[in-house]
Chain A
Amino acid sequence: MEIRLPRLGEGANSGVVAGILVKEGEKVRKDQTILELESDKAVAAIPVPEAGTVAKISVKEGDEIKVGDLILTLKADGGKQEIASSQPPTQEVPQPTMSAQRGKEQPSRSPVPQIEGIPLAAAPSLRKIARELGIDLTRVRGSERGGRIVLADVRQYLAELQKGALAPPPPTSSVATVSPPDHVDFSKWGSVRRKKITSIRKTIAQRMSSSWNVVPHVTQFEDADITDLLALRKAHSAAYEKKGGRLTLTPLIIKALVRSLQQHQMFNASLDEGSGEIIYKDYYHIGIAVDTEQGLLVPVLRDADKKSVLDISLELEDLAGRARDRKIAIDEMQGGTFTISNQGGIGGAHFTPIVNKPEVAILGLGRGALRAVVRNKKIEQRVILPLGLSYDHRIIDGADAARFITTLVQAIESFDEKELALAGRGSKKKPAKKGKK
């Protein structure tokens, strides 16, 4: 394109070329000054309206040129990235938040890149303090206009550092967390065998330690009367078997659980420690702790709120089976919002499961057993299921947990039979797998 001398302003229609600031073959940015024009009034900088490469310069220093005269020809540039980066992204500049916000910190502002040879945007006195304290100011976020760092920013940075230093260090190695820190020679007391721990075990150890160290755990115990639920199960299991499903207690509990989570969304949430926010999820992906030969695996049953009991039972069987055969993909074990650990098939009563971080709660099911229960002022035989609900006490209070488990027990004890209707796929086919294999 041809770059011609633009209109200069009132009364100035011509001038003498005082300086040419570009060379032929040179790349120019949009708005870069290409020429300085001297008129009787002043020296004006003439910018180039587009980015590109200077193909030919048609004027020389000392030439008198008029508005509309050809200055140079510009070749459009292919290298868009460069141009894009030089385009002053003024829009990104946080607008001056006048009086209302004056002096208020805005730590969310992104750090400003440093320019070599130019000091960091902080007063020399502050840089001296940082030097003396050994603080790398490039890590400190400046809250003032232009990313300028002030003393308050350094204070906040120090507070964060201190918080980090006081928090228990994250386990660096899973092995370290499962083996005793000191070397003990157990063979002194008898013969021993050593066996390398598997990678699954390492992962389990690491995740458990991490959760245990970070999450303040509280476990809420409760009992649920599942006598009626088992009766429902018995009534429907034959129909389910015809459809290829095995109606166990777990899908029924999952259904009751999801209904409860929908009423108590905090239990389906996560805590973002970095931003200090709680993340509520509009989906219900239930992790199922599965006992395998290698150790604990937790495949995730997705969108449990949208699935029928039949679908859940079919999918559960598929997931558990593949988990035992180690045919489960990593992404099928991710994205859970709440986990159930059911020990009922093995035995045991109440226990205190560990929250599966970043989830905030986990439900542990013991073995349902016949108990003598006082109902309607009479002692009756009822099947009682022990429940243990562990939760992250940082964001869930005890009262929340009591309310949640009450809702859950209610949902189990008065399970709606309509939920057992044979909706969904109802085929013998295994459910199509999600995610890549």
Chain B
Amino acid sequence: MRPIETEIVVLGGGVGGYSAAFYAADKGKKVVLVEQDDRLGGVCMNRGCIPSKAFLHATKLLKEADDSSARGITFGKPSINLDEMRAWKETIVQKLADGLAGLAKNRKVEVIRGRGYFEDSTTLRVETSDGQKFVHFNKAIVAVGSKPALPKAFDLGNKRIMTSDEALEIEEIPANLLVVGGGYIGMELGTVYAILGSKITMVEALDSLLLGADADLVRPVKRRAEKLFAEIRLGTKVGKMATSGKHIKVTMEVKGKEKEELFDRVLVSVGRTPLTNDLGLENTKVRKNDNGFIVVNPQQQTDDPVIYAVGDVVGGALLAHKAAREARIAVDVITGETNSFDSIIVPAVVFTDPEVAWCGITEAEAKERELPVEIVRFPWSASGRALSFDRTDGMTKLVIDPVTERVLGVGIVGAGAGDLISEGVLAIEMGATAEDLAESIHPHPTLSETMMEAAEAFYGYSTHIYAPKKKEQVEG
């Protein structure tokens, strides 16, 4: 069989992969996209962002219904049909997958279902259901992504020990669920299961939840989780796990004492590992670092001059929107334009309850790097909008350069923080000053006003909080 000739082959059909393939096609390139799953969309669409948000939305309703008795609205006890819930999630994912397939077709991107393997720096072998196919390419973009990490000690082959992949299938609602890892995946899925009725025990090896977020942003999340979860154990390491009938016996050190406990299920959310094995990368000049991530320069070029890599496989923030930007950069560079992943603001959003989002320089980072910054906070207890839906447990924070008054960082905790953070990204990317934010009218009554009022607080004239500007004092 004659090999397929193409200008660009993209390996992996997740956000990074399909973004690259579509963009390259839009720029007039002949593109082949190789994906081993039946559906495009990768982890984000099939086993990540989208299904988790669907479940978070569904369970939020339960929580809201529960909370609304204080507002004089009482519901009967809800009944939960997991099969229907899964089916509903499946329709969402399928709709998106159909959309992507259509977009690929319209752009004349050839999608090959199968597993790709580099024979060398010119040929990709694809194992498909109809046998082997060979793709001759001028340039390749590797976007194979990552999978949930499952440490060997926990990998018993027992389906009661889940990663996010399995947890998002919600086979059952376990009575007792241990969540190992208090990062964003553990927090989000822990919330879903808790509202569905599981008793959650969360264990985190570090002293804080949501690594990377400022402590003051995490606090409202932690406070709410403490009510929702049975227990949160910080600074605690899980030793080993063993199958014990229909349970998992987990050994961990609690307050200096080794303790054995039984859980119905365990969710391991301790990070993700790149899928860079068994790709034939050793037949190319592509180089990996010690953690298995592909090494690239700011142009997304690997050590192999014809192979580029984007998304989770190159490390950094393992986020879909980062992958999408990297995809554009790789394609721009391939098509002879200058582009570079350099000082680009990557916002982080955690869809906990309340949501946490931040971008740019965090307060902790400013402190660690000894950057002279000024921090202003606007508590949502002063926001009419937040009060109107009973969620005053929010805060909007700006990190400002006191000399230029430029906004260097934004942190938000509160309902809808993920949607609010974009203004912060725009402000930083545009080099906006606090005054630019303060001088832009924000509609009332919305949560976006908190951004404006925080900026006003920097100048000491926020309407809804009293925070007079400290008098300038000259250091003696």
Contacts and interface: CB of A to CB of B under 8 A. Distances in A.
B431 A21 contact: no
Interface string B267-305: 000000000000000000000000000000000000000
Interface in A103-123: 112, 115-123
B35 interface: no
Interface stretch (B38-46, B50-58, B395-403): B395-403
Contact of B381 (A41, A85, A128): A41
A199 to B, nearest CB: 46
Interface in A86-143: 86-93, 96, 112, 115-124, 128, 131-132, 134, 142
Nearest to B342: A119
A41 B470 CA distance: 21
A92 B474 CA distance: 13
B216 A43 contact: yes
A93 B404 contact: yes
B61 interface: no
A21 B432 CA distance: 28
Nearest to B404: A146
Nearest to B370: A86
Given A45-B377, A93-B405, A121-B404, A145 B435 contact: yes
B430 A123 contact: yes
A84 interface: yes
Interface stretch (B108-116, B137-145, B146-154, B333-341): B333-341
Nearest to A119: B343
Contact of B343 (A87, A90, A120, A123): A120
B375 interface: yes
B431 A88 contact: no
A30 B473 CA distance: 10
Nearest to A91: B472
A124 B338 contact: no
A93 B435 CA distance: 13
A29 interface: yes
A86 B403 CA distance: 10
A33 B375 contact: yes
Contacts of B401: 115, 146
Contacts of A51: 475
Interface string B238-263: 00000000000000000000000000
A299 interface: no
A124 B475 contact: no
B476 to A, nearest CB: 10
Contacts of A18: 219
Contacts of A112: 403-404, 406
Contacts of A121: 404, 406, 431
A44 to B, nearest CB: 9
Contacts of B340: 131
Nearest to B406: A146
A42 B379 contact: yes
A127 B406 CA distance: 17
B360 interface: yes
A10 B408 CA distance: 32
Contacts of B404: 93, 112, 121, 146-147
Contact of A123 (B216, B339, B402, B431): B431
A148 interface: yes
Interface string B379-395: 10110000000000001
A124 B429 contact: yes
Nearest to B473: A30
B372 A86 contact: yes
Interface string B307-334: 0000000000000000000000000000
B371 interface: yes
A86 to B, nearest CB: 4
A36 B372 contact: no
A344 interface: no
B344 interface: yes
B216 A29 contact: no
A115 B408 contact: yes
Given A93-B404, A118-B360, A31 B470 contact: yes
B412 interface: no
A144 B430 CA distance: 12
Most buried by A among B361, B382, B406, B408: B406
A84 B472 contact: no
Contact of A146 (B215, B219, B433): B433
Contacts of A86: 370, 372
A88 B372 contact: yes
A30 B471 CA distance: 12
B455 interface: no
Contacts of B403: 88-90, 92-93, 112
A43 B395 contact: yes
A299 B137 CA distance: 74
Nearest to B382: A42
Interface in A60-91: 80, 83-91
B475 A87 contact: yes
Most buried by B among A31, A41, A118, A148: A118
A244 interface: no
B5 interface: no
A119 B431 contact: yes
Contacts of A29: 372
A245 to B, nearest CB: 57
Contact of B431 (A10, A84, A128, A148): A148
Contacts of A90: 402-403, 472
Interface of A: 9-10, 18-19, 21, 29-33, 36, 41-43, 45, 47, 51, 80, 83-93, 96, 112, 115-124, 128, 131-132, 134, 142, 144-149
25 contacts: A19-B215, A21-B215, A85-B372, A87-B474, A88-B372, A90-B402, A93-B403, A93-B405, A112-B404, A115-B361, A115-B408, A116-B343, A118-B343, A119-B344, A119-B428, A123-B430, A131-B340, A132-B338, A145-B405, A145-B435, A146-B433, A147-B406, A148-B430, A148-B431, A148-B432
Given A29-B372, A30-B473, A93-B405, 15 more contacts: A19-B219, A21-B367, A36-B215, A41-B381, A42-B382, A43-B216, A83-B475, A87-B372, A87-B475, A88-B372, A96-B435, A119-B344, A120-B343, A124-B429, A148-B432
Interface of B: 215-216, 219, 337-340, 343-345, 360-361, 367, 370-372, 374-375, 377, 379, 381-382, 395, 401-406, 408, 428-433, 435-436, 466, 470, 472-475
